[in-house]
Structure 1
């Protein structure tokens, strides 16, 4: 007859009927970047040292529990943060996201890592007796327990006997992996989870009796059926029956996290005295001698595997004797569960096959299922003793226990899926990625960056704009005010092309959203002349510096033309001081009136530039009407702008003017970002052009430094990270998205920018990213390969930047 092991619990400590105590802790989740072997080795090293230190205790209980991701709860929390004009629309889309993700991600879990430590009891001494002698009630309860009388309350004397050991356990665990003492609610959750696997998850409330309710039926060989009043599920317990000699890179407590079904892990390690460990090695040596005798008798050659094992055993024997290395007597089993026995059978088969590939043998015993169920309960004794495996600290550490795939934010809008594991896709991955654009600047615990700024980099056609627009639309639901610069003049066009007449009925909220944006289109027409004249919307030294910068750049002055540079400075200062409504055209006339022929020639050139074509936007008489940013979302776009290729200097006059226009455009955005009365997003499309000018470089740096205090997030959209791969810049960027690298050199630059390990695997991965795939470094410094994924058809249509192919793609693919 199996007895439920838990007699009582208090805080994070469980007390058994045998007066033993187990303390439980939840570990900090550890992450390593994509293909980051050095970071993985660092975790392995910490796990090794932890396994050595835990030898001071008798027994350790390692658990990995898959906690179902509560989509409804996350989306409800998100909706509570929505405010402003678009809050209602945001709530509508959050509800739609709930419905879609409930179906698409029904098996999504977060893996949580727990460690239980069997505590050492202090013996009763005179000091303890004296301390509690005034409390006859406490002493009496303790004596009753020793005599075998049960009770569910934990007295102070019992707590005190294990307090010192509990503090030692917490200190060791926290030093090597980082841990929290579990709360009683978490402890109840772990207990209740055992009796509802594959059913509705517990909330961590209830009495001890209610936690253990359920009928366990081991009637079907190899399975346990769990029955509740209104639900039932099936479980299979799969112990490890054989480990290979070398467990390096097996990742046997990690790699299954990419599965589309939950896997639970229970691993108990038992430590014995040094003498027992020496005896264990002697027993194994005897087995080798017996095998040698059999080989000689059969006249067969030595087995290479046996020879390797013999060498390893010799080293181990020396380490036990000379260094006190402990042996870990490990009882390790997986649990898979589901709604039907057939579902569990398939999951168990998948697990067995995949572990077989790792040379790890796991089995599904027919008769031990109930024993293994009992052994999974916190603080239970080892009763299925047939499955013991002897591990060293090194082999235990190769499990990568505590490693998780977590990336992004816990509460945020759905961004896509983590596809870091080989062969994963957006359809197969169950690792959801959520993103919140207004968390980084709060300086949350564990975060590496406290900056709200973001870079999105990559070549044309790989998904930069698609991702940006997804973030843009989701951000407005938080009440953020937005200014987006669009030098390509495509956002309004693509958004409004997606608005079909049917949307009046099928997607009215989307139609309302898109039509409410303030699209500010600047053209070469006379009505727009001067709207980006820096002397009209800036003041003081800032206006002077911007005006001088534009005029010098357009003049293409050489270093020896100091007289002209001086004249430009004097002209700008003169107009600003003498004229109530200054404008760049007035500065140009000042230059044209100079007695210096060189200055006059430059004035004539600037007049021709400033009164023709799109350059008119920067030149005015000072009497222009300013650009209104009264709406929540403002998209500033310029027509007929001929941009140079990324990374190239402006080669033609039109390209030169386009780059010049970016300077006042950026200054205008900077002025918008400085308003600290509301949370803001300032988005720079084609930002690389700004960095090609000294003034633009200074502007970006200023915004990145001051944005957090101004409640302004700057989004830099660029084709290359080269200009931003400088310590003073990238340290001020909180989240980085990098799409495909075209060359090995570019891949190396992205790797450095994201702080990844520079190796061939990462360079190849970056060069082979496909459309919609990118590497992200989040605010916690974690990196992963993700696939962006938009849930709503009307959004997908609006985000598509590709031209209508008139059936060309379909025709081509028909013959593939």
Structure 2
């Protein structure tokens, strides 16, 4: 018995699915000699509490009260929102019967005789013993089988896992203690099926295990469409928001014999010929159906003659619930959905006991089995899409939302999208650059959040900021829209007045809110490059900022004088004198050249009484503090255009200069201590891409990156801002919200094939939905879930006096 790790394939990527189906066909064709195999898709509970305990190891002491509150509440609220928190696991079972592992003809005959002897004499003379080394032959062939399954990365189960999966067949829908059940079964195999199986409510099976009880229904697939291309039944099953166990028992067809597929097909052809001959000569629905059935039989015969691999399989969907009415409703939902895809499930009430025992892992199909058997080619069989699943995000992290299995639109109802999914996504930005995380395709720590205004990217960003700040890292949020401080302090006041949510109150108090206001003289020079930077970095920024507000091109005399004065004042600052950029300009007002004096005087006037006073000062004030663990830095009075395609006004150019300074401040913040994780949230980052200098600043911040444990979260409007052919750093994680004009660009950036289907998939996203690409290369559409209304209010940024709503 092997566990096959699910291949994570994007739900909309047909090419990747086709490639994986071809791989599955190749692997299964290699086990044809074993005759039988089972494929089980089993829902197993997720140990959410265990995962959260691992996450808690990285909590920062100063905010751990809120961190624990979030974990405790999310555990409770998630469990209340769904029947079970689970994920599907895939198992491939191949019986190594004694007569199957003796491939030498004489040895096979001997083995078969011994097997028959055991069956005949054991009831008469008692238990027949085996040789002490009976298992050695099995080990050899089991090892050979593992090699044949290597392309699926299948791993044999250990003893405890094997016991549990077999015992689970008798515990469906029942609460149990896994360790106890495994221990009891190891003690004696008599405990393996120690569950009472009874009939209740019109042939619904009922399992009893002590005081626990559950209802069980096994629905076999009775008919499948004539054309099974892209049937993908097992993918569709995973899209329901409740667990459905799916069991598929298969047997490869013999080429000859009474029960071989060719023999069965020939008999069926004779029956169809007779039925058609006896039918109504005028045709009609029944007659057409008979003709199609005959054509399918003829097709099977042709394929058999062409040496295509044929097999028969029994496929059963298993439903379990402790509430009978809930069980019936689940069955109805799935039967209706399957019917729309041409798949017929039957209740098979008279066959429930047969199906229960036939579907046990120790049972195999025989050539003579007839009930609910589907006959198809191996290529048609793998169209079920076995061994796949959808997943995105980290294995250890905070809950952020749910994967959306729907490929269409929710028409704005994001709550319905959340309720319809049980596939949770978790995030932990700091796992990106850890070396011991298996399966990653990149260690790039940077995150990009893109999309149009109003799609939900700000809401997601604030949650990522919150979760990051609860861990052992220094966190900086650049808030050029000056939204956060006002709203956070407003909520703090409300909660203090009402005496509620003390954990949230303490968290807000732990944040260092820094407001840079040009009207506050104490803020002047807080972002002055001579004040908060040194050496070459200070000089480069000073030149870039000056050139942005007053072009130095074709002004060689002033340019030269400016550089001389700048070098002089940088040296003075190194010696401890309080000088700044405005000091440089005032120095140039005394220059012997009138042209230099005029230019310097113009720059002084441009700086005074403007937002530029934050960056050009006399150096008397302190620079922005970088010591606090959590800092929100806002700048009031920035004039940011609403669209990056707008041409910049003089006021916006001055705001761009301030953004330059903020960018360099971020670089300094991220590179000060390479042993300390730092994360920077740079909002309205698209503004930097308005100029070559701004793009260069973003590159510098990104290049601090993994080597210095710095993470950049770039919040911007266009996905174009995340890619630069001259920049090899890129982004390891991307959240792409809807954008009216960028569907193809986003899909290309996320490496998703561009088709009409994928474009519709992207453009049909509703508010709160985005495409999430993680560091494992996995990509899915998720719905961001604001699980905490008491925290969500921190992120409200729209103020209005209007009361009426629809």
TM-score normalised by structure 2 residue count: 0.89
Q: CA deviation at 1:153?
A: 11
Match of 1:132 in 2: none
Match of 1:396 in 2: 381
Match of 1:359 in 2: 342
Match of 1:706 in 2: 704
Match of 1:271 in 2: 252
Q: Which has the higher mean CA deviation after the structures are superposed, 775-784 or 723-732?
A: 723-732
Deviation per CA, 1:123-179: give whole Å up to 9, x if none.
Answer: 399999xxxxxxxxxxx999989974998999773332123332333223221x332
CA distance in 2, matches of 1:102, 1:358: 31
CA distance in 1, matches of 2:495, 2:690: 45
Q: CA deviation at 1:755?
A: 1.8
Deviation per CA, 1:163-221: give whole Å up to 9, x if none.
Answer: 3332333223221x332222322222211211111111452522233332211113554
Q: CA deviation at 1:303?
A: 5.4
Q: Which has the higher mean CA deviation after the structures are superposed, 325-334 or 579-588?
A: 579-588
Match of 2:325 among 317, 330, 342: 342
Alignment of 1:347-426 (within 5 A): 347-382=330-365, 385-421=370-406, 422=408, 425-426=417-418
Root-mean-square deviation over aligned CA pairs = 3.0
Question: Is 1:622 the equivalent of 2:619?
Answer: yes
Match of 1:480 in 2: 473
Question: Is 1:514 the equivalent of 2:508?
Answer: yes
Match of 1:463 in 2: 456
CA distance in 1, matches of 2:770, 2:271: 53
Question: Is 1:583 the equivalent of 2:576?
Answer: no
Match of 1:180 in 2: 155
Deviation per CA, 1:544-601: give whole Å up to 9, x if none.
Answer: 111111111121344x445544444443234324553452123323443445555444
SS state at 1:171 partner? helix
Match of 1:158 in 2: 134
CA distance in 2, matches of 1:601, 1:292: 103
* Kept in 1: contact 2:432–2:443 (CA 8 A): yes
CA distance in 2, matches of 1:680, 1:151: 68
Q: Which has the higher mean CA deviation after the structures are superposed, 590-599 or 513-522?
A: 590-599
Match of 1:763 in 2: 759
* Kept in 2: contact 1:679–1:711 (CA 8 A): yes
SS state at 1:346 partner? helix
Match of 1:17 in 2: none
CA distance in 2, matches of 1:81, 1:127: 63
Q: CA deviation at 1:232?
A: 0.6
Q: CA deviation at 1:518?
A: 0.3
Match of 1:62 among 39, 42, 55: 39
Q: 1:126 to 1:264 in 2, by over 3 A?
A: closer
Deviation per CA, 1:381-424: give whole Å up to 9, x if none.
Answer: 34874121112122212111122122222321111122231456
CA distance in 1, matches of 2:589, 2:533: 24
SS state at 2:419 partner? coil
Question: Is 1:123 the equivalent of 2:118?
Answer: no
Match of 1:697 among 695, 698, 704: 695
Q: CA deviation at 1:737?
A: 0.8
Match of 1:655 in 2: 652
CA distance in 2, matches of 1:259, 1:578: 69
* Kept in 1: contact 2:241–2:421 (CA 8 A): yes
CA distance in 1, matches of 2:20, 2:619: 63
Match of 1:321 among 281, 305, 319: 305
Q: How many equivalent pairs are there?
A: 772
Q: 1:633 to 1:653 in 2, by over 3 A?
A: same
CA distance in 2, matches of 1:419, 1:125: 53
Match of 1:16 in 2: none
Q: 1:728 to 1:146 in 2, by over 3 A?
A: farther
* Kept in 1: contact 2:465–2:477 (CA 8 A): no
TM-score normalised by structure 1 residue count: 0.88
Question: Is 1:168 the equivalent of 2:144?
Answer: yes
Q: 1:393 to 1:562 in 2, by over 3 A?
A: farther
SS state at 1:478 partner? coil
CA distance in 1, matches of 2:131, 2:444: 49
Q: 1:519 to 1:300 in 2, by over 3 A?
A: closer
Match of 2:28 in 1: 51
Q: CA deviation at 1:709?
A: 1.9
Q: 1:488 to 1:442 in 2, by over 3 A?
A: same
Match of 2:111 in 1: none
CA distance in 1, matches of 2:490, 2:701: 33
CA distance in 1, matches of 2:728, 2:63: 32
CA distance in 1, matches of 2:767, 2:278: 60
Q: CA deviation at 1:667?
A: 0.8
* Kept in 2: contact 1:552–1:565 (CA 8 A): no
* Kept in 2: contact 1:725–1:749 (CA 8 A): no
Match of 1:799 among 788, 795, 801: 795
Q: Which has the higher mean CA deviation after the structures are superposed, 590-599 or 704-713?
A: 590-599
* Kept in 1: contact 2:534–2:570 (CA 8 A): no
Q: 1:47 to 1:284 in 2, by over 3 A?
A: farther
SS state at 2:371 partner? helix
CA distance in 1, matches of 2:560, 2:167: 80
CA distance in 2, matches of 1:540, 1:588: 19
* Kept in 2: contact 1:537–1:626 (CA 8 A): yes
* Structure 2: stretches of 5+ with no match in the other structure: 108-113, 411-415
Q: 1:142 to 1:529 in 2, by over 3 A?
A: farther
CA distance in 2, matches of 1:223, 1:711: 58
Q: 1:777 to 1:731 in 2, by over 3 A?
A: farther
Q: 1:532 to 1:300 in 2, by over 3 A?
A: closer
* Kept in 2: contact 1:530–1:620 (CA 8 A): yes
CA distance in 2, matches of 1:68, 1:314: 45
CA distance in 2, matches of 1:289, 1:144: 46
CA distance in 2, matches of 1:154, 1:79: 52
* Kept in 1: contact 2:770–2:782 (CA 8 A): yes
Match of 1:787 in 2: 783
Match of 1:38 among 15, 19, 23: 15
Deviation per CA, 1:504-545: give whole Å up to 9, x if none.
Answer: 522111111112210011111221111101122212211211
Q: 1:338 to 1:672 in 2, by over 3 A?
A: same
Match of 2:170 among 163, 170, 195: 195
Match of 1:9 in 2: none
Match of 2:192 in 1: 211
Deviation per CA, 1:584-622: give whole Å up to 9, x if none.
Answer: 123323443445555444322221222331101111233
Alignment of 1:634-649 (within 5 A): 634-648=631-645
Match of 1:18 in 2: none
CA distance in 2, matches of 1:248, 1:731: 41
* Kept in 1: contact 2:273–2:294 (CA 8 A): no
Q: 1:84 to 1:35 in 2, by over 3 A?
A: same
Match of 1:631 among 625, 628, 633: 628
* Kept in 2: contact 1:269–1:331 (CA 8 A): yes
Q: 1:42 to 1:222 in 2, by over 3 A?
A: farther
Alignment of 1:736-747 (within 5 A): 736-743=734-741, 746-747=742-743
* Kept in 2: contact 1:107–1:260 (CA 8 A): no
Match of 2:230 in 1: 249
Q: CA deviation at 1:641?
A: 0.9
